[in-house]
A and B are shown apart, each in its own frame.
Chain A
Amino acid sequence: MAKPSQPILLGLALSCLVATNTVQAKEQLVLAIGGEPEQGFDPLLGWGQYGNPLFQSTLLSRDSDLSPQPELATEWSLSEDRLTWTLTLRDDARFADGTPLTAEDVAYTFNTAAQAGGRADLSALKEATAISGHTVTLQLREPRITFINQLVTLGIVPHAERENGYSEAYGRHPMGSGPYQLVEWQEGEQLIVERNPYFYGPAPAFKRLVFLFTGEDATLSAAHAGQVDIASVPPALAANVPGQMQRVIMESVDNRGILFPMQAAEGKHADSGAPIGNNVTADIAIRQAINLAVDRDTLAEVALHGFGRPAFGPADGLPWSDEQEAIAAPDLAQAAELLDNAGWELRDDGLRYKDGLPARFRLTYPSSDTTRQLLAEVSAEMVRPLGIEMQPTGRHWDEIQREALHQDAILFGFGSHSPQEVYYLFHSQHAGNGFYNSGFYANPEVDAHLDAAQAAESIEQANHYWQAAQWDGNTGYGIRGDTSWAWLVNLEHVYFANTCLDVGELGVAPHGHGWPMTANLLEWQWTCG
């Protein structure tokens, strides 16, 4: 007898899911919004840094204009020397096992996260101390203006010494004080969560959420087949809305751009073994010419189907970004002149050469990402008339890390609610450290501005330094300075949502299509009978 094939089994499984979903429409939502975390749901290792931690609560949250709001902490203050945060916790917060969340748990979370080396940067934290059951202080080594971001993003985990406390397996079996608790996680397939009965806030409208971890194609097919209630879709594929769904747009600070390797190739290798440097992109004339040649409006139209806008920096429109950072219109003539002056000679084969070196390099993107593929292909086409050959190359993420990260131009995406990301992206201290400054950008003057911003006395003063790091009239990381990136577009996050689902007022999403949408989960309502 022939065995049933995997697609048939999957089809049956999905049909069962739909049947269940129809019967319990108000009870269960099926979401295909991607974003399965490799390291599990452990805030100490980075879970929740881009968006809502779901299982855990944070000390503070942000409202739609990004200002801090009370969450676990009802009151908070920063000492005059800007070295001590004091926070008062609410007294009705409980973990999913019913035990109360105390200042001990908060102190444990911060102290452990500081040592864990995850995505949460707590290098400025000296010590977190529980003063009383509901008061905690966070002592800093030095003033750090962006430290508040950790209060907004770091989910609180239970102290290791308590029952059901934090352990190495926490990422696979998270327990927190957030609105939902984990029921089952089948890695690579689905995550099932249910309401946390001890959640201090209003009970979510949906008892159970099922997150399907499907690829772009499968997500789209499932949306068209009516098998999911929310599906995140790449902008280029968002034109045809399935019959029973509506298109939901979430504004974001999520951007895409080309990170250039800034060092010449001298045979050096990073600790990971990946080669460092690229002789073509190390020349500022090449980077400036690309920035001048790329038509960002057309990119947004063609690659994003209009669901986005041109980008010129890592944080366009945010208070810590310089508004003057823009290119009025693409100018191929000026770009060509710039290359001529820099000694890049155009030859008969249509390519430019300098001392025998062709203006050719790989533009690498993760092969599973349609949006980045389109951006890479279209921008490569736009710079081709200049005699620069960017070769769009799709690779797996681990291959990118192993081979391409420091020697290829990479089509990256970033975007955060905090200027801390700017610090990571451009401070030489983070050169070669993870994805952020993988091009090994280093400029002492920019470092000085970034450090000054972190140590600033006020947000306004910090913003002045953040902007100076971009361009201070003399130098900067931006397009008037070192041109370390060619920022391309800012995205709108596009979702297909069931017409019966009211997702309320969505905020502004950071990088990471998917989870950030669940930030206002408590407002979601089913409007059909």
Chain B
Amino acid sequence: MSQVKPLHYQSTRLPAQPRLMAILNLSIAALLVVGLVTSQWLLGDLPQQMQFDARLVPPSSHHWLGTDALGRELWARTLAGLGLSFWVGSLAAMLSTLIALSLAALATLSRRLDTLVSLLIDTLLSVPHLILLMLIAFALGGGTQAVIIAVAVTHWPSLARVLRAELLQLRQAHYVRISRALGKSRWFVLQAHLLPHLLPHCLVGALLLFPHAILHEAALTFLGFGLSPSQPAIGVLLADAMRYLSGGYWWLGVFPGLGLLLMVLGFERLASHLRRAL
């Protein structure tokens, strides 16, 4: 049986190709993130500006991605929507990871707590995501905050299960046993030996959660349980587009949908590369 070494004792050298791809993806993602984060300031109130004489205009050199029913530039609204989705997705993914890590750590403290956490994980995994999301978002009254909480509260179980298994395995490692035998407290072992080992898993886990969170935020908003219809969220843009689709206004749905798809795929690829690299 191979011994498990703590990460900080392991070599950080990685096979060249995955590492290169990860760096490349990371750079692209970093650029994307900077763009999305700063879009709010760069765009100002452009996503809200109405041009009553240019309503539902198809894409052209003047209106790059066309305009919506109130003459608002779709490129600005799509970018603002992606920015908003990024914030919501990031916060929800971080919160979800935090919940997963806390519960996984809690599970290591005693057998009874472990059973309880396992039960909680199984229970949540047995309920369909979207239904639970809708219920929580509705109960919290909708809006950005409610969506973040709803997504965070429903997305942690898979990651928590992975982290818990990892922790249980680590608990049997020699250096952990030695540390315990030397009289170190459970808390010391947890924060000095176990958690540092888990951080890369958390990073990858959060990154994998992120596209999920974004998609569910968009779905929730699309269904009317999420962000306010007056916010330029991707879910709102897609829901609006549905109404106008029969009129032939294809650009209202295609571009926000494409933007969402690219962002989700981009982050998913990044997470996959990171997972392989780490």
Contact = CB atoms under 8 A, between A and B. Distances in A.
A394 interface: yes
A374 B229 contact: no
A236 B52 CA distance: 14
A277 interface: no
Contact of B69 (A216, A236, A301, A402): A236
A371 B244 CA distance: 13
B248 interface: yes
A395 interface: yes
Contacts of A402: 141
Interface string A364-405: 000110100110111001000000000111111001001100
A368 B224 CA distance: 8
Contacts of B248: 240
A392 B70 contact: no
Nearest to A301: B52
Contact of A393 (B69, B228, B243): B228
B52 A298 contact: yes
Interface string B13-53: 00000000000000000000000000000000000111010
Contact of B243 (A216, A376, A377): A216
A224 interface: yes
Contacts of B246: 220-221, 224, 240, 242
A232 to B, nearest CB: 14
Contacts of A394: 228-230
B238 to A, nearest CB: 11
A294 to B, nearest CB: 14
A82 B48 CA distance: 56
Given A237-B247, A239-B247, A302 B70 contact: yes
A288 B121 CA distance: 56
A337 interface: no
Given A302-B55, A395-B142, A367 B243 contact: no
Given A367-B224, A368-B224, A374-B69, A392 B230 contact: yes
A106 B52 CA distance: 54
B89 to A, nearest CB: 21
A217 interface: yes
Contacts of B49: 381
Interface residues of A, number: 31
Nearest to A239: B247
Nearest to A363: B230
B138 to A, nearest CB: 8
A240 B141 CA distance: 35
B242 interface: yes
A378 B50 contact: yes
Given A221-B246, A298-B52, A373 B229 contact: yes
Interface in A285-316: 298, 301-302
Contact of B230 (A217, A298, A376): A376
A240 B246 CA distance: 8
Nearest to A223: B246
Given A381-B50, A399-B142, A237 B228 contact: no
B79 to A, nearest CB: 19
B69 A367 contact: no
Interface in B190-231: 224, 228-230
Interface residues on B, range: 20 to 34
Given A378-B50, A392-B230, A394-B229, A399 B141 contact: yes
Interface string B63-74: 000000110000
Contacts of A240: 246-248
B228 A220 contact: no
Given A224-B246, A237-B247, A302-B52, A377 B141 contact: no
Nearest to B69: A236
Contacts of B70: 302, 374, 377-378, 381
Contacts of A239: 247
Nearest to A364: B228
Contacts of A393: 228, 230
Contacts of A217: 239, 242-243
A377 B70 CA distance: 9
Given A240-B248, A302-B70, A373 B242 contact: no
B141 A367 contact: no
Contacts of B228: 367, 392-395
Nearest to B55: A302
B106 to A, nearest CB: 34
B42 to A, nearest CB: 18
B41 to A, nearest CB: 14
B244 A237 contact: yes
Interface string A233-275: 0001101101000000000000000000000000000000000
Interface in A483-523: none
Contact of A396 (B52, B142, B244): B142
Interface in A157-199: none
A458 to B, nearest CB: 46
Contacts of B247: 237, 239-240
A239 B69 CA distance: 12
Q: A367, A374, A391, A403 — which one has the most chain B CB atoms within 10 A of its CB?
A: A367
Interface string A198-227: 000000000000000000110011001000
A301 B247 CA distance: 18
B236 to A, nearest CB: 9
Nearest to B248: A240
Nearest to B230: A392
Contacts of B55: 302
A221 B245 CA distance: 9
B52 A237 contact: no
A368 to B, nearest CB: 7
A395 B244 CA distance: 22
Contacts of A368: 224
Residue of A217, A239, A374, A376 with highest tally of chain B CB at under 10 A: A217
B19 to A, nearest CB: 40
Contacts of B239: 217
A305 to B, nearest CB: 9
Interface in B130-184: 138, 141-142
Contacts of A216: 243
A393 B230 CA distance: 6
A242 B248 CA distance: 12
Interface string B50-93: 10100100000000000001100000000000000000000000
Interface of B: 48-50, 52, 55, 69-70, 138, 141-142, 224, 228-230, 239, 242-244, 246-248
9 contacts: A217-B239, A368-B224, A374-B69, A374-B70, A376-B230, A377-B50, A381-B70, A392-B230, A396-B224
Given A237-B244, A381-B48, A394-B230, 20 more contacts: A217-B239, A217-B242, A236-B69, A237-B247, A240-B246, A240-B247, A298-B52, A302-B52, A367-B142, A367-B224, A370-B243, A373-B229, A377-B230, A378-B50, A381-B50, A394-B229, A395-B142, A396-B138, A396-B224, A402-B141
Interface of A: 216-217, 220-221, 224, 236-237, 239-240, 242, 298, 301-302, 367-368, 370, 373-374, 376-378, 381, 391-396, 399, 402-403
